[in-house]
Structure 1
Amino acid sequence: MLHFIRPKEATLSVLLYLLLGAIGLPVFSGGNGGLHIFIGQTGGFLLFFPLRALVTSLIANRKKSLIQIFIANFLGEVVLFIGGAIGFIIFTHSLILTTLKLVVLPFVLPDLIKITLTTLFSLLLLKTLQSQSYFKIEK
């Protein structure tokens, strides 16, 4: 059986991405990089990316069904929203309701659409990879 990226690999790859951005490479939104990005209003999102990768990978690797993959991505997104909201509250001293209105609610529907598309494409990709003889299939 071909696996999705394993939890350790998922977490380490996101940590590497964050390290590249932290040393100044322009890998973050808008072509930005540097440590200052972690301290701004969106720093909580970046800091919670590794946890999102871990949660998503742990759940997605259990069973490869549409529902399981959707749940994995959904819960990973919840983790990311929590981290982003916490970071926003700490940086701006905003109230929780204000934070929800600015940081979470505008992105719920677009993210649900992205999660749905990701779920559908991941299964199609997995089936395609499994049909290719040059990929190692684990049993």
Structure 2
Amino acid sequence: MDTTRSLVYIAFCAAVIAVLAQVMIPLPLVPITGQTLAIGLVVTLLGKKYGTQAVCLYIMLGAIGLPVFTAFSGGLGVLVGPTGGYIIGFIPTAMIIGLYFEKFGYTYVHAVIANIIGMFVTLLFGALWLKLFANLTWSAAFISGVLPFMIAGIVKACIAATVGLTLKRRLQQAKLLQIIQ
């Protein structure tokens, strides 16, 4: 794929993550957001390489202070706050989802499995972060950082799989997404 087209896809998908990050259901410590849905959607659509680059671009934009994180927040303070582990975890999440697709292909069942695995990777990073930086016990980190998000995460994984594969197929049929795997 030509460099300009890949850069446009990466930038557009980083913007999609930023927009979906604003979809939020507040909870006491960490809100349920559209970010994880967006991560799964972007990687399902673009694959490991470009999907991970879009995630990294999104995180870099937020880190330099652009208001792309949840509730239009940005800056390094967000990355060292309670949600920082989830955000940092988006990078290995994207890579693992992409690796799964490379190994097993882009079927609906595999897309759901890849996105559920990705959801658990994000939750693992978030809980670990809460344990270390919010000084929670392991059980408190699990109860506040994983448990409330499991059902929503599975639903978002199914949505990311369905929408991501549909968009991918339609864009490929229109010859707008020819080379991305």
Do they fold alike, i.e. is TM over 0.5?
Answer: yes
Q: Is 1:123 aligned with 2:129?
A: no
Secondary structure of the residue that 1:5 maps to in structure 2?
helix
Equivalence for 2:87: 46
**1:111 and 2:153 matched:** yes
Q: Quick one: distance in 2 between partners of 1:136 and 1:20?
A: 25
Write out aligned runs for 1:1-139 (5 A). Answer: 4-62=45-103, 63-132=105-174, 134-135=175-176, 137=178
Unaligned runs of at least 5 residues, structure 2: 1-43
Output the CA distance in 1 between the equivalents of 2:127 and 2:109.
26
Quote the Cα distance in structure 1 between the aligned partners of 2:69 and 2:177: 33
Structure 1 residue 136, shift from structure 2 partner: 5.7
- Please state how far the C-alpha of 1:130 moved relative to its aligned partner: 3.1
Q: Distance in 1 between matches of 2:102 and 2:91?
A: 16
Q: How far apart, in 2, do the equivalents of 1:122 and 1:136 lie?
A: 12
CA contact (8 A) 1:4 1:61 kept: no
Point out 4+ residue stretches in structure 1 off by more than 6 angstroms: none
Q: What is the one-letter code of the residue matched to 2:94? A: A
Structure of higher CA gyration radius: 1
Q: Residue 48 of structure 2 contacts residue 94 of structure 2 at CA under 8 Å; is this kept in 1? A: yes
Amino acid at match of 2:118: G
Q: CA RMSD in A?
A: 1.7
Q: CA deviation at 1:11?
A: 1.8
Q: 1:89·1:99 contact (CA, 8 Å) conserved in 2?
A: yes
Taking structure 2 as the reference length, what is the TM-score of the superposition? Answer: 0.69
TM-score using structure 1 length: 0.88
Q: Is there any run of 5+ residues in structure 1 with no aligned partner, and where?
A: none
